[in-house]
Structure 1
Amino acid sequence: MLKNTVRLSKIVGFNNSEQKRSFLTIVNQGFEAYRTTLGRNPVHLKPGLSLSLPVIHHVQKVDMREAGMGVDKISAFTKDNVPVQLSAVLFYQVKNAYKACFDVTDYRSSIYSVGTSSLRS
């Protein structure tokens, strides 16, 4: 399952922790961002341009649009112990960017874990 999560993060193309640092931060339409100063005092950045100091500030961007995530084949058992193979697509949309940035380590892997566990049950 860990291999699927790592592969998924490579397919999606970015993690919250892997943001490019520069003086100009561009937040595209459909995204929200939070800028922290030395890991504290989060400032909400809306779409547009904003300035940041690369050494002091860290910017985390969150995609607020609806996104899909593929779940590869999962082995599970039915109530009468018949083995089955499941695959699915999870659709999700982040409603609260602050919680996505600061309440969980990686919200995409959390969504993947919840989706796979609910498929198995």
Structure 2
Amino acid sequence: MIILLIIFLALFAASIKIVREYERVVQFRLGRLTGSKGPGIVLILPVINRLVKVDLRERYLEVPHQTAITKDNAPVDIDFLIYYKVVDASASIVQVQNFTGASVGLATTTLRAVVGDIPLDELLSKREQINSI
């Protein structure tokens, strides 16, 4: 009888998860997406459900040194930061395997495309405009 009570209490404790204000949890039931939940108390079925936490706060990544070619074929060395924020927790888990890596790749490709369309003189004079991209 005591063993059953201990098992019941352990399952009950495992079924309650607390999600912070800046987090969401993406819930999978038997491998199928059931949606995102939070903030607050989230009840789950411990054996059947799996939760993946997603941080919704703004974050930044420092991208390693990049070399790009301007429109007039001048090489330019670029260092930059990426500021990003997850808006859709479910999509960030289900649609992309590595959200951070995909963000870095997209930002690097976009910056190289922008730098490649601008001559060096114009690039140097429009630094503030390029910083806002």
Structure number with larger C-alpha Rg: 2
The equivalent residue for 1:85 is 77
Summarize the Cα distance change of 1:86–1:35 in structure 2 as closer, same or farther, 3 Å threshold. same
Mark the runs of 5 or more structure 1 residues left unpaired by the alignment.
1-21
Tell me how far apart the structure 1 counterparts of residues 78 and 18 of structure 2 sit (CA, whole Å): 40
CA, structure 1 residues 84+44, in 2 after alignment: closer, same or farther (shift >3 Å)? same
Q: Which residues of structure 2 form unaligned runs of 5+?
A: 1-12, 114-133
Q: Aligned to 1:64, which of 25, 48, 56?
A: 56
Counterpart Cα distance in 2 of 1:69 and 1:57: 32
Which residue is 2:98 aligned to? 106
Compared CA separation, residues 41 and 94, structure 1 to 2 (3 A): closer
Q: Alignment partner for residue 65 of structure 2, among 59, 67, 73?
A: 73
Q: Deviations over 1:13-36 (max 9, x none)?
A: xxxxxxxxx924332221111111
C-alpha root-mean-square deviation of aligned residues, in Å? 2.0
| Count of equivalent residues | 100
Partners of 1:86 and 1:26 in 2: how far apart?
42
Q: Segments of 4+ in structure 1 off by > 6 A?
A: none
TM-score scaled by structure 1?
0.70
Partner of 1:105: helix, strand, or coil?
A: coil
Structure 2: distance between partners of 1:57 and 1:39: 8
Report the Cα offset of residue 53 of structure 1. Answer: 4.7
SS of equivalent to 2:72: coil
1:72-102 residue CA offsets vs partner (Å, 9 max, x unmatched): 1011111122222111111111221221122
Could you tell me how far apart the structure 1 residues matched to 2:98 and 2:51 are?
15
TM-score (norm 2): 0.64
Aligned equivalent of 1:4:
none
- Percent of paired sites with the same residue: 32
